[in-house]
Amino acid sequence: PDYTFFDEMRDTKDFQLYADLRLAGVGMVGVVHATSPIDAIQRFIGRVELGMIPSIVDTVIFIKNGNVEKVYSLETTVKIPHGLKEEDLARPVVVVRDFLTGEAEYELYVFGERTFVVPIKKHGSRVSMEEYKLKSAVERALQRFIGDGGGYEVKVDSSSSLVVVELSLEQYNYIAGKPRRKLERIVRKFGYELELRPVF
């Protein structure tokens, strides 16, 4: 098979068997129950060597209430861990990135005899899957209407359920006609309202 699903991974033997199969080249999809995606990654700490985790788990998909809420990718690099400054403290670090934006959100590293999991991005600034899909849909529509030349910016404000599109006066005058109604239909599918703002 191309992929094998390993359901209900709970005890150390399960994690070690999963790691052995993954490192042997078998395509594996492991199912771990956790309250957050970083908790699922932490379940591997202490069961396998920290530096091996990205080779065993390269992608984490967190499903909540039947929806994909977060997707992480993992990679190993040698750097000074977030929060430390001295150059001689550089060490192997597992960087956990948002799969969609590429932004680093956590770092895992060993300092002394302890393994640290350090958040490097405030929770409030993370982009949800819904916001990402909405912003992408609006940007694709804008590209169809005014081309790939850019000159506009799409901002999604989830707190007020508002999508703000900032664009040049020329672009604004064009979009304010028929294209605006099409954009409004897109954002309303997500439960948002649209606001166009000309930038002078």
For residues 104 and 138, membership in a common domain is answered with no
Count of domains forming the chain: 2
For residues 95 and 188, membership in a common domain is answered with no
For residues 118 and 152, membership in a common domain is answered with no
pTM confidence score? 0.59
For residues 77 and 118, membership in a common domain is answered with yes
Q: What angle do CA 10, 93, 73 make, to 5 degrees?
A: 60
Q: Check residue 30 and give its pLDDT.
A: 95
Distance CA 101, CA 129 (A): 10
- Residue whose tokens read 């700490």: 45
Other beta carbons less than 10 A from residue 6's beta carbon = 17
Contact 32, 9 (CB under 8 A): yes
For residues 78 and 35, membership in a common domain is answered with yes
Domain that holds residue 183: 129-199
Q: Check residue 159 and give its pLDDT.
A: 73
For residues 106 and 143, membership in a common domain is answered with no
Q: Euclidean distance between the first and final Cα of the chain, in Å?
A: 58
Q: Check residue 132 and give its pLDDT.
A: 78
Distance CA 17, CA 22 (A): 9
Tens-place pLDDT, residues 114-133 = 888 888 865 444 456 777 78
3-state secondary structure the chain: CCCEEECCCCCHHHHHHHHHHHHCCCCEEECCCCCCHHHHHHCCECCECHHHHHHHCCEEEEEECCEEEEEEEEEEEEECCCCCCCHHHCEEEEEEEECCCCCEEEEEEEECCEEEEEECCCHHHCCCHHHHHHHHHHHHHHHHHHCCCCCEEEEEECCCCEEEEEEEHHHHHHHCCHHHHHHHHHHHHCCCEEEEEEEC
Domain end residue (candidates: 73, 88, 122): 122
Domain end residue (candidates: 122, 144, 178): 122
Domain end residue (candidates: 122, 147, 168): 122
For residues 110 and 180, membership in a common domain is answered with no
For residues 32 and 98, membership in a common domain is answered with yes
Could you tell me the mean pLDDT of each successive run of 10 residues in the chain, 200 residues long? 89 92 93 89 89 94 91 93 75 92 90 84 57 85 80 81 88 88 92 87
For residues 70 and 12, membership in a common domain is answered with yes
Distance CA 18, CA 35 (A): 21
Q: Check residue 96 and give its pLDDT.
A: 95
For residues 111 and 153, membership in a common domain is answered with no
Q: Check residue 149 and give its pLDDT.
A: 62
- Residue whose tokens read 């991974």: 9
Q: Check residue 148 and give its pLDDT.
A: 66
Distance CA 52, CA 11 (A): 18
For residues 92 and 74, membership in a common domain is answered with yes
Write the CATH number for 173. Answer: 3.30.70.1770
Q: Check residue 74 and give its pLDDT.
A: 97
